[in-house]
Chains A and B, each alone.
Chain A
Amino acid sequence: AQTVTQSQPEMSVQEAETVTLSCTYDTSENNYYLFWYKQPPSRQMILVIRQEAYKQQNATENRFSVNFQKAAKSFSLKISDSQLGDTAMYFCAFMKRNTGNQFYFGTGTSLTVIP
């Protein structure tokens, strides 16, 4: 079974500052995807960024980047130049490649951006 752990239930950051959210996972699989999803107060799940495990290069999407350490099974999210609209729950998720396509979510980190 796959498990995804987010050890930071709550975090806060000053507007315009940088924050890093942690995520570790446990799997025996070699081919998989990792994701960060954002859930704002509207409860709509929004994809922030994804990483393919076979790619060594860390994914980047504008202000969002990841630090993917496959051997350590670590997948942290860095948000640069934090904005008020970044306030949300952030979920790390794991998906095995080519089988079932189920997502396994971490417990989430509630991020508050302080003006």
Chain B
Amino acid sequence: GAVVSQHPSWVICKSGTSVKIECRSLDFQATTMFWYRQFPKQSLMLMATSNEGSKATYEQGVEKDKFLINHASLTLSTLTVTSAHPEDSSFYICSARVPGLTEAFFGQGTRLTVV
């Protein structure tokens, strides 16, 4: 199957700093990628849809100035959590669809801890 690689797997940062998470499609081109947030023992909540070459589409309630998304190429989308606070601590997962296929392929996820 298609491979989506997410980096880093885990990161610890201090309050007030910014952290960038990368999502790469390794063996296919993804014009659209998706970013999810998952709290412990809860479901995946869609944060935003990342579109190559254009602005991301954010779900209601997601602060676009706090969660900056850049989809600069067909194989890379980045999520930057700006001015991180402890309440931003969570598990972040990206996904992408292979053109022509229906299912989504997911990255390994990134566990963010803000101290």
**Segment at the interface with A among B17-25, B61-69, B77-85, B100-108:** B100-108
Residues of B within 8 A of A37 (CB): 106
Interface string of B13-53 (1 = CB under 8 A from A): 00000000000000000001010000001111110010000
Bound: A35/B102 CA distance, A? 10
Can you name 9 A-B pairs with beta carbons within 8 Å? A44-B106, A45-B106, A47-B105, A50-B103, A89-B41, A101-B34, A107-B42, A108-B41, A110-B41
Chain A stretch 50-80: residues in CB contact (< 8 A) with chain B: 50, 52
Query: With the chains together, A37 CA to B38 CA distance in Å?
Result: 14
Q: A102–B49 contact, CB under 8 A?
A: yes
Q: Is B93 an interface residue when CB atoms closer than 8 A count as contact?
A: yes
Complex contacts, B32 vs chain A, CB 8 Å: 101
For residue A38, give the distance in angstroms from its CB to the closest CB of chain B.
11
Q: Is the interface of B mostly helix, strand, loop or mixed?
A: strand
Instruction: Enumerate chain A interface residues (CB-CB to B < 8 A).
Output: 33, 35, 37, 42-45, 47, 50, 52, 89, 91, 95, 100-108, 110
Chain B residues closer than 8 Å to A47, beta-carbon distance: 1, 103-105
Tell whether, in the assembled complex, residue B43 and residue A106 are in contact, meaning their CB atoms are under 8 Å apart: yes
- B13 shortest CB reach to chain A, Å: 19
Quote the shortest CB–CB distance from B45 to chain A (angstroms).
8
A101-B97, A102-B34, A103-B34 known; A44 vs B44 contact (CB < 8 Å): no
Any chain A CB within 8 A of the CB of B75?
no
